[in-house]
């Protein structure tokens, strides 16, 4: 069995059971294993991020960042846990790829109307 004191980022058994019950894959399978691996990796990364934030606040540099800790912590979380691009951002990126591919094959077109329509959509 794993020594939790030596490896503190290993999820405890209770959390593993919780993830197993949350999984839509009820039969042991590659898909269920992938789900569990993904959950464990995310949980471990979240634990590490929170430990780093705690260290920033309480560690040797803590006194020097007390002026803007919320701002700094918010920036750190945003940088390490970025939000996925919106559907609008994905569509604009794909439009640029289509335009570039068409241009490289001598089939240029003007994507400006489609781009303007997409840009008017809410994120």
* 79's tokens: 């940088």
Calculate the CA dihedral of residues 34, 39, 43, 44 and round it to 10 degrees.
-10
Rounded (10°) CA dihedral 44, 46, 51, 57:
170
Kindly write down the DSSP assignment for every residue of 36-102, as one continuous string: HHHHHHHHHHHHHHHHHHHHHHHSTTGGGGTTSHHHHHHHHHHHHSPPPPPHHHHHHHHHHHHHHHH
**Among 29, 38, 32, which Cα is nearest to 11's?**
38
Is 85 a residue whose pLDDT tops 50?
yes
pTM: 0.56
The pLDDT of 28-56, averaged and rounded, is: 89
Q: What is the pLDDT of residues 87-114, one digit of tens each?
A: 999 999 999 999 999 888 888 788 999 9
The per-residue pLDDT for 28 is 86
Crossing angle of helices 13-22/30-58, nearest 10°?
A: 130
> What are the tokens at 41?
């990796």
1 pLDDT higher than 50: no
Q: Give the model confidence (pLDDT) of 55-77 as tens digits.
A: 888 877 765 655 556 788 888 88
Tell me what the mean pLDDT of segment 36-65 comes to.
84
The whole-number pLDDT of residue 106 equals: 86
Match 């003007």 to its residue by tokens. Answer: 110
Domain residue extents for the chain: 13-80, 87-120
List, for residues 23-39, the tens digit of each pLDDT value. 888 888 899 889 999 99
């Amino acid at each position: 069995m794993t020594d939790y004191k030596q490896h503190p980022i290993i999820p405890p058994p209770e959390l593993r059971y919780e993830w197993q019950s949350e999984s839509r894959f009820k039969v042991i399978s590659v898909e269920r294993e992938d789900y569990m691996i993904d959950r464990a990796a995310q949980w471990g990364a979240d634990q590490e991020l929170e430990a780093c934030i705690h260290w920033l606040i309480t560690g040797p540099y803590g006194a020097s960042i007390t002026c803007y800790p919320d701002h700094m912590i918010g920036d750190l979380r945003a940088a390490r846990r970025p939000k996925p691009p919106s559907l609008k951002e994905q569509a604009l990126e794909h439009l640029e790829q289509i335009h570039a591919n068409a241009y490289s094959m001598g089939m240029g077109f003007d994507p400006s109307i489609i781009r303007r329509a997409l840009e008017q959509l809410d994120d």
